[in-house]
Chains A and B, each alone.
Chain A
Amino acid sequence: MTDVLPTGERRQLAPPVTERGALGWIRKNLFSSWANGITTVVLLVAVVWFLQGFLNWAVFTATFTAPNGQACRGHGACWALIHEKYRYIFFGSFPYQQHWRPLLAILTMLAMLISSADRRMWNSRLIWIWTIGSFVTFLLMFGVLSFPISLFLFVALAVGGLGLILRGVIADPVELNAYRALLAIGAIGLVLRVLGVMPAWSLTIAPFDYVETGLWGGLPVTMILATYGLVFAFPYGVLLALGRRSKLPLIKGLCVGFIELIRGVPLISLLIMASVMLPLFLPQGTTIDKFLRALVAVILFAGAYIAEIIRGGLQSLPKGQFEAADAMALNYPQKTILVILPQALRVVIPPLINTFIGFFKDTSLVLIIGIFDFLNTANQALVDPNWAGFPAEVYIFAAFVYFLFCFSMSRYSKYLEVELNKGTRR
């Protein structure tokens, strides 16, 4: 028997009742067999039992205000402790009267991070957001900022150089001459400065009282270490990854050596080295800020990990992509920036964000060199004898704040994957 459907007509039947609606979903997903039904019931009972116990402790019998720890005893959770200590947990030893400064710094950084998360902002606006945001953040934290002339010269050199490399082909002559001028001013100025011909001028802005990094603590420290650590580690990791795939044996060797060396040691040992050993190599009298040393250690460490992740992305690209770019006469920087990296980075977003989340939490290791980040200030809050004996509350509070950050990053990773794959089915 041949059965030919009439043209232009397709048989459309509704799905069976058991597949439809909430009841259908429950039946299909939770009670599809005896074993599944029992599992569902057992797990439900366990969850209800746990939640009931937890809520009882954390909400119903909890103490929210109390003059001291003694008044909390015998009841549930002692949230009064958090109420008492939250300013220390968030801001550490920062002068108490000035706590609005780290608070504003945190908000500035959050605004900066959130606004640069939006794909529509990924253009030259990003440079302004980060320049102004970073300036405000550090001005609030330090209170006094001083910019040496060498910094301006270095920025001129970098802008000129990058401009020539990135826009060399498409810029008009006026723009090109501006880059050349910046490059020349930067280079000559730096040489003169190193030779000592140019005096050590600096520009100082001092709207608030100076607060040294030794007094910083809490959430701003965690956020600054993680944000700036990763912001600098990222381009550095990209360069390492590209270097590792270089055909020039010297560059390749250096990059491989560096990556393997850094990956082979724990972050703690790197922090101790930066803190204890680095000053031994420096000439007497020169000191580098402890906070800066920790930041450099984090950058070096994260860079090596990021490099390996990005290398995975580079290796996942088909050889044809490189060949197509070569065949159309793109040079190495153009090929890398326009064709290879956009694709390679897209592939590695999930592991990259995973590393970012890891480093956000790993910054707590800076305790080892005497810097108090968020987890460490929380820990310190437990030392007060008036409030002894409530570690669970403090750690749950700290965990909650960490979770807010890490979960946001995780969701953002999901959004990025979807956003970047719009229209490109592969």
Chain B
Amino acid sequence: MATNSVIELKGVNKWYGQFHVLSDINLDVKEGEKIVVCGPSGSGKSTLIRCINRLEEHQQGDIVVHGVALTNDVKNIEAIRREVGMVFQSFNLFPHLTILDNLTLAPIWVKKMPKKEAEEIAMGLLKRVRIPEQAAKYPGQLSGGQQQRVAIARALCMRPKIMLFDEPTSALDPEMVKEVLDVMVELAKEGMTMICVTHEMGFARAVADRVIFMDRGEIVEQNEPEEFFAHPKNERTKTFLGQILHHG
């Protein structure tokens, strides 16, 4: 595995008013690394990955993505967003556009790609997430699992170097979780750099290089998945794992 860092967070702090939501976060992500972030709700894990593409603004510390420092400079922010794809819990497909138009929107307008080329790439990606036959439909006509796979394809259409997943399976009916996870596992095997906020511990065991546990805005513990699940060191980690794993 390559050893150069693609995401670096140094001493990152963020407050919502008085509430300290991220406290002194240090994180170094290598190229091709897959990281799973877990933790109780309100622990700041979503906020953490949303800071990486500036959907949230951090107030202290440095974030460097692919060699570009994240500042208030719009040029830098847009440069980073071009390299970083994001998948949301609630899919956030554009309901007024067809599936194909959802995919080609950003390549055409942000990357100035000719429409035909963008559509070819989009159809290729739809095949990869196994729903090419839905290209002409609208998001509202698809099931949740299909919509989330479209959302992944849409993010990939920009040819990102890094993918962020913000609880991609939490809003899905149970029978649809697998079809989305399968796509994510494939993506991981192809060597994509991924940061994934999720409680799917099976996914974490299967693909993660590192599991990070966050609580109250801090990174409490991080380790390789085997070690992390077998021998959690911190009390808070043990409690959390006990809560989410005891159903087997």
Contacts and interface: CB of A to CB of B under 8 A. Distances in A.
B58 interface: no
Nearest to A337: B109
Given A169-B110, A342-B96, A331 B55 contact: no
Interface stretch (A52-60, A275-283, A317-325): A317-325
A329 B158 contact: yes
Interface in A342-401: 342-343, 346
B169 to A, nearest CB: 16
Given A423-B141, A424-B140, A328 B110 contact: yes
A331 B78 contact: yes
Nearest to B94: A339
Interface residues of B, number: 33
Contact of B137 (A323, A327, A328, A423): A423
Interface in A290-331: 318, 320-321, 323-331
B14 interface: no
Contact of A327 (B55, B105, B109): B55
B94 A327 contact: no
A326 B95 contact: no
B138 interface: yes
Contacts of A45: none
Contact of B109 (A323, A334, A420, A423): A334
B95 A426 contact: yes
A342 B138 CA distance: 15
Nearest to B108: A170
Size band of the interface chain A makes with B: 20 to 34
A318 B90 contact: yes
Interface string A386-426: 00000000000000000000000000000000001001111
B36 interface: no
Contact of B90 (A169, A320, A334): A320
B106 interface: yes
Nearest to B136: A423
Contacts of A111: none
A327 to B, nearest CB: 4
Contacts of A323: 55, 88, 92
B205 interface: no
B47 interface: no
B138 A423 contact: yes
B215 to A, nearest CB: 25
A338 interface: yes
B29 interface: no
B82 interface: yes
Interface in B69-83: 74, 78, 81-82
Contacts of B109: 169-170, 330, 334, 338
A343 B139 CA distance: 13
Interface in B157-187: 158
Interface of A: 169-170, 318, 320-321, 323-331, 334, 338-339, 342-343, 346, 420, 423-426
11 contacts: A169-B110, A170-B108, A170-B109, A321-B94, A327-B81, A327-B85, A327-B155, A328-B105, A329-B81, A339-B94, A424-B139
Given A325-B94, A425-B141, 8 more contacts: A318-B92, A320-B88, A320-B90, A327-B53, A327-B85, A423-B137, A424-B95, A424-B96
> Nearest 7 pairs between A and B by C-beta?
A329-B81, A324-B92, A320-B92, A328-B106, A327-B86, A425-B140, A423-B138
